Every structure is written in structure tokens, then in C-alpha cells.
Structure 1
Amino acid sequence: MTTKRILIVDDEVHVREVVQTCLETLGGWNVLSAASGREGLVRAEVEQPNAILLDVMMPGMDGFAFLRQLRANSATQDIPVVLLTAMAYRFNQQQLTELGVQTAIAKPFNPLLLIDEIALALGWSLEKPN
């Protein structure tokens, strides 16, 4: 099985660091990161990750604008997206489907459960590192 590659798009450096540590250590996944929506769009097109973990509230380009541009680009339109946001409670499944995202995970999140939540949302089986 090939190692999954996840792109984290979040303007908060500490969130990116914690998420990256969790996904690499507990999931054995390769993690890319972007500090802004614009940087995330470029990295998504160039790197072609298996999935994107996206914050909604970011300066400049918020998560909704990011999603519109991601879906408008034929090179990135099929990359699955999971929202990681303090606004997770605001979304029901119909809204998530309309946005074209798999699920929304609430901040603050439990670092020990994060890979399980992402894998479940994406239909991935977990082969946790020893």
C-alpha cells in the first residue's frame, strides 16, 4: 500500500504543526502544508495529494473561496477535502455535500483521534506504524 499524502491548508502555524505531527507519527502519512488558500491551491496542483485538510476561516482567501477554485481546476477538482474548523458544528451533511467535502472535524480536535476521523471520512483503511 502506498503512503497517503495529505495537504494541510491552515493559516495557524501551531495547528499545522500539531496536525502534521499527528498524521506523520500516528498515521504514517506524508504531510504537506500551506499557510494560505493561494499557497494551498498551488501545492494541490503541483503535489496532487490524496486529500486536503482545510481550515475555513483564513485571511485573504477563506476555505469557501479555496473550494470554489479547487473544484474549478480540472487538475485538482477530484481531490477529497475534509474541513478542520471551529465552525464544524454549523454544517449538516447536506451542506457538506453541496460544498463537495467529505466531513467537517471540529477545532479543537483530539489529536489521538484525528487520523481515525480522517480515514473514516475518506474510506481509507489504517495501517498504523509500529
Structure 2
Amino acid sequence: MNDDNSGRRLALVVDDDDDIRFLTTIALETTAGWEVVNASDGTEAVAVAAQRRPDVVLLDLMMPGMDGLATTDALRAQPETADVPIILLTAKAAAGGTVPWEGAPISGALTKPFDPMSLAAQVSEILGW
């Protein structure tokens, strides 16, 4: 858990869509009392994660520039974030049983649109919290 002494979970939400970041932040803060920090792209996410060391990264799969999978690789490559759980937020559904993130070092994936009221519970379930 984040070591800021508050006992609250710290989530990093990474999405190029301002509305998704806002909705996700409000959902996690109000339904679970988590602290949330945001990044609008993969490069920013890698820097913020190294500095803040979140308990979980909720990461959009499809972003311009550094997409979710490239961001995952960058997070795994730096010691400060190598073990941080990553959950992809994606609008991509599995086609023919395969998913673009197959074999990626992630904890799970959630489909957008998601239910804001149950998002924290879904993340907690994936991570066994």
C-alpha cells in the first residue's frame, strides 16, 4: 500500500480522454476513498508513477504516441514501478478469443464503458484486496 501514512490506496489513472480521467477519479475517490493522480499519456504516466509509486495503475490501452502496452513495458523497466499492478481500461473487446494484451505483464483488464459505482470493487477484486 502507498506509504503516505493515510492508509488510503493511491491509483494512477492514465487516459488521453479528459472525461474518462475525470469520471474514473470521481468514482474511485467517492466510492472507495482512494487518492487518485492522473496522467494524460504514457510518457507522463511513467514519470508520475516513478515519483508517486501508486498502489495500482489504471491504464488506457489505446492512446496516441505511447499506447498502453508500450507504457506497461516502460513501467516494468524502471525499478520504482516494476511491481506496481497494472489494469488496462479498454474499449477493445476480444475478437475470436484473442486480446491485444495477451501475455502482457498486467493484472487484468476492464472494459469501457465501466460502471463507476463498482469500479473500485472490480479493481479490488482483480488485485485480491
Structures share a fold, TM > 0.5?
yes
| Rounded Cα–Cα distance in structure 2 between residues aligned with 1:57 and 1:43 | 19
Q: Is residue 102 from structure 1 mapped to residue 111 from structure 2 by the alignment?
A: no
Number of the residue aligned with 2:29: 24
Q: What is the aligned-residue RMSD (CA, Å)? A: 2.1
Match of 1:14, SS state, is: helix
| Rounded Cα–Cα distance in structure 2 between residues aligned with 1:32 and 1:91 | 35
Q: Displacement of 1:57 after TM fit?
A: 0.3
2:39 to 34, 39, 42: 34
Number of the residue aligned with 1:127: none
Assess, with a 3 A threshold, how the Cα gap between structure 1 residues 91 and 112 changes in structure 2: closer, same or farther.
farther
Equivalent residues of 2:93, 2:99 under 8 A apart: no
Equivalent residues of 2:56, 2:85 under 8 A apart: yes
| Rounded Cα–Cα distance in structure 2 between residues aligned with 1:117 and 1:77 | 22
Q: Is residue 83 from structure 1 mapped to residue 59 from structure 2 by the alignment?
A: no
| Rounded Cα–Cα distance in structure 1 between residues aligned with 2:96 and 2:84 | 20
2:9 to 4, 18, 23: 4
Quote the sequence identity (%).
38
* Letter of the structure 2 residue corresponding to residue 108 of structure 1: P
Equivalent residues of 1:55, 1:63 under 8 A apart: yes
Equivalent residues of 1:96, 1:102 under 8 A apart: no
The count of corresponding residues between Structure 1 and Structure 2 is: 124
Assess, with a 3 A threshold, how the Cα gap between structure 1 residues 70 and 28 changes in structure 2: closer, same or farther.
same
Number of the residue aligned with 1:47: 52
Q: Displacement of 1:89 after TM fit?
A: 3.3
Q: Which consecutive unaligned segments of at least 5 residues does structure 2 have?
A: 1-5
Structure 1 stretches of 4+ with a deviation exceeding 6 A read 91-95
CA deviation string 1:34-60 (max 9, x = no partner): 001000000000000001000010001
1:14 to 1, 14, 19: 19
Match of 1:84, SS state, is: strand
Equivalent residues of 1:53, 1:83 under 8 A apart: yes
- TM-score by length of structure 2 reads 0.88
